[in-house]
C-alpha cells in the first residue's frame, strides 16, 4: 500500500472513505451499475481522472497554466482513430497508432516548452491557447485524415466489440461482452497511470517541481535548471494526457473534435482540477468524478427544476439543464478565491 500510493495518503478520514468508494464503484461498475449509460459514465470518469491528474502535474505541482492539454488528449484519441481506420482493426494497428501519438506528443510538448517556458506564466498560457486552437481547427479541416467535423467511427479488434461474448453464461447477471473487456482496459490503464503519476509527484523529481513552483530563482541557485524541469513536467503531463486520449478512443470507438480537442473540454478540465483541489492528485479523482456525474445526472435534476419553475421569469432559463456550467463557473470563481486547495484541501482541513 505504502509503495502503491508512494507514501501519499489521503490524510483525511472522509477523503479516504470517498476515495475507496470511488475506486470500488469504478472497479465493480459493470456489475453494480449495469446499463449502457452508467458504464459510459464510469469509463468517462476513469479517463478524466487520468486526464485531470496529468493536468494537475502541470498546474498544481509546477505552477504552469497550459491550454494545450486537450491537444495532447486529442492526439492520443486521433492516433487510435486514424490507425484503426487506416490500418484496420488490429492490435498491431492500435499499437502503432498509440506509439506514433505518444512520440508526436513528446516532440510537440518539448518544442512548445523550449519556445516559451523560459518566460512568464501568462505568455505560456497565451501561446498554448493559440497552438491548441490551431490544432482543433486543423483536425476539423484535414477531413481526408481526420474525418473533419464528423470525426471518425472505426472498428476495434474483435475482443473489444460489444457483440463478442466471452462467457457463455452471464456472470452475476451480467453478460461478459467485449464492452466489459474494453471497460476494464480503460479502468486498469487509468489506475496504473494514475498511480504512476502519484509516484512522479512524490519522487525526488516531483519535489523539485514544487520547489520551482515556490521559488524558481532559488531552485536555480541550488542547482536545478528550472527550464529543464519545467519542460520535463510539460512533456510527462502531455504523455499522460495522450494516454488518456488513447483509452478514451478505445472506449468510444469514435473520435471527433468535440469529444477531445475543443476548448470546452479544456475548460471542463480546469473546472475539475480547481474544484477538486490543485496540487493534490486526489483532487483530480474527486473533481473528475463529481464533474462527470454532474454532467450526466445533474442536468436531469435541473430539467425537473426548470419544468417546475416554468412561468416564473428568468428562473427557468437559469436552471435550464444547459445552464449547469453557469453554476459550476460561479463555483469555480469562488473556489479560486476562497478555497484554492479545493474540496480535498477542505477535507484535509487546510485553509
Partner 1 sequence: MSEPRSGEHPVLETHDLTIRFGGHVAVNRVSCAFGPGTLTAIVGPNGAGKTTYFNLISGQLSATGGTVKLFGEDVTSLSAPQRTRRGMGRAFQLTNLFPRLSVLENVRLAVQSHAAMGLNLFSVWSSHVELIERAEHYLHRVKLADRRDALASALAHGDQRKLEVAILLALDPDLFMFDEPTAGMSVDEVPVILELIHEIKNQGDKTILLVEHKMDVVRSLADRIIVLHQGELVADGEPAVVIASPIVQQAYLGLAGHE
Partner 2 sequence: MSDDALRVPGIDKIPLALIPAIALVALPLIPSLPTWVTLTVAGLAMGMMIFIMASGLTLVFGLMDVMNFAHGAFITIGAFVATSVLIPLAGWTQADSLWLNLGAIIPAILAAMAVAGALGLVFERVIIMPVYGQHLKQILITMGGLIVAEQSIHVIWGPDIIPLPKPATLRGSFIFGDIAIEKYRVVAVIVGLAVFAAMFLLLNRTRIGLLIRAGVEDSEMVESLGYRIRRVFVGVFVAGSALAGLGGVMWALYQETVSSAMGMQVMILIFIVIIIGGLGSVGGCFIGALLVGLVANYVGFLAPKIALGSNILLMVLILLWRPQGLYPVAKR
Residues of the shown chain interacting with partner 1 in the complex, contacts defined by CB under 8 A:
3, 6-7, 196, 199-200, 202-208, 210-211, 214-215, 217-226, 229, 232, 236
Which stretches of the chain are DSSP H helices? 13-27, 29-32, 36-56, 69-87, 91-116, 121-141, 143-146, 178-201, 204-214, 216-221, 226-252, 257-260, 263-276, 281-293, 299-308, 315-318, 324-338, 342-347
CA nearest neighbour of 266 among 192, 167, 274, 112: 274
CB of 188 to partner 1, least distance (A): 19
Nearer to partner 2, 23 or 333 (CB): 333
339 binds, among partner 2, partner 1, none (CB under 5 to 8 A by kind): none
* Closer Cβ to partner 1, 164 or 202, answer by number: 202
Q: Indicate the residue among 11 and 303 with the shorter CB distance to partner 1.
A: 11
DSSP of 235-287, one letter per residue?
HHHHHHHHHHHHHHHHHHSEE-HHHHT-HHHHHHHHHHHHHH-TT-HHHHHHH
**Closer residue to partner 1 (CB): 135 or 194:** 194
Q: Rounded to whole angstroms, how far apart are CA atoms 319 and 212?
A: 43
At closest approach, how far in Å is the CB of 345 from partner 1?
Answer: 13
Q: How many residues bind partner 2 (CB under 8 A)?
A: 42
Select from 25, 332, 339, 346 the one that contacts partner 2 (CB under 8 A): 332
CB 341 within 8 A of CB 286: no
- Write out the binding residues for partner 2, residues 209-268 only, by CB under 8 A: 263, 267
CB-nearer residue toward partner 1: 235 or 302: 235
Is 74 a binding residue for partner 2 by CB under 8 A? The answer is no
Report residue 309 as a C-alpha cell.
Answer: 419553475
Question: Smallest gap, in angstroms, from Cβ of residue 228 to partner 1?
Answer: 8
Quick check: 340 binds partner 2 (CB under 8 A)? Answer: yes
Is 312 near partner 2 (CB under 8 A)?
Answer: no
> Which residues, 6 or more positions from 246, have their beta carbon under 8 angstroms from its beta carbon?
76, 77, 79, 80, 97, 98, 101, 189
Span interacting with partner 2, options 16-24, 98-106, 137-145, 181-189, rule CB under 8 A: 137-145
Smallest gap, in angstroms, from Cβ of residue 150 to partner 1? 40
Amino acid at each position: 500500500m505504502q509503495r502503491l500510493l508512494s507514501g501519499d495518503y489521503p490524510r483525511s478520514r472522509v477523503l479516504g472513505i470517498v476515495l475507496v468508494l470511488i475506486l470500488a464503484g469504478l472497479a465493480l461498475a459493470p456489475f453494480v451499475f449495469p446499463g449502457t449509460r452508467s458504464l459510459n459514465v464510469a469509463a468517462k470518469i476513469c479517463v478524466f481522472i487520468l486526464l485531470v491528474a496529468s493536468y494537475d502535474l502541470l498546474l498544481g505541482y509546477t505552477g504552469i497554466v497550459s491550454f494545450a492539454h486537450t491537444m495532447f488528449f486529442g492526439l492520443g484519441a486521433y492516433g487510435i482513430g486514424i490507425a484503426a481506420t487506416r490500418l484496420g482493426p488490429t492490435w498491431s494497428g492500435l499499437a502503432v497508432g498509440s506509439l506514433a501519438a505518444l512520440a508526436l506528443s513528446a516532440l510537440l510538448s518539448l518544442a512548445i516548452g523550449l519556445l516559451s517556458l523560459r518566460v512568464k506564466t501568462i505568455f505560456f498560457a497565451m501561446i498554448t491557447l493559440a497552438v491548441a486552437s490551431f490544432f482543433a481547427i486543423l483536425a476539423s479541416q484535414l477531413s481526408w485524415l481526420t474525418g473533419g467535423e464528423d470525426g471518425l467511427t472505426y472498428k476495434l479488434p474483435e475482443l473489444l466489440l460489444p457483440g463478442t461474448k466471452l462467457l457463455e453464461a452471464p456472470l452475476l447477471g451480467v453478460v461478459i461482452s467485449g464492452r466489459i473487456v474494453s471497460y476494464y482496459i480503460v479502468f486498469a490503464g487509468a489506475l496504473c497511470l494514475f498511480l504512476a503519476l502519484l509516484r512522479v509527484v512524490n519522487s525526488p523529481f516531483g519535489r523539485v517541481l514544487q520547489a520551482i513552483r515556490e521559488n524558481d530563482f532559488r531552485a536555480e541557485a541550488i542547482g536545478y535548471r528550472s527550464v529543464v524541469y519545467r519542460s520535463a513536467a510539460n512533456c510527462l503531463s502531455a504523455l499522460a494526457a495522450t494516454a488518456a486520449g488513447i483509452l478514451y478512443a478505445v472506449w468510444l470507438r469514435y473520435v471527433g473534435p468535440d469529444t477531445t480537442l475543443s476548448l470546452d473540454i479544456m475548460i471542463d478540465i480546469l473546472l475539475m482540477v480547481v474544484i477538486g483541489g490543485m496540487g493534490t492528485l486526489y483532487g483530480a479523482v474527486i473533481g473528475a468524478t463529481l464533474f462527470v456525474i454532474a454532467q450526466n445526472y445533474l442536468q436531469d435534476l435541473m430539467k425537473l427544476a426548470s419544468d417546475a419553475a416554468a412561468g416564473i421569469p428568468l428562473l427557468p432559463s437559469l436552471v435550464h439543464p444547459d445552464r449547469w456550467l453557469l453554476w459550476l463557473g460561479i463555483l469555480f470563481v469562488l473556489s479560486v478565491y476562497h478555497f484554492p486547495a479545493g474540496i480535498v484541501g477542505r477535507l484535509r482541513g487546510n485553509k
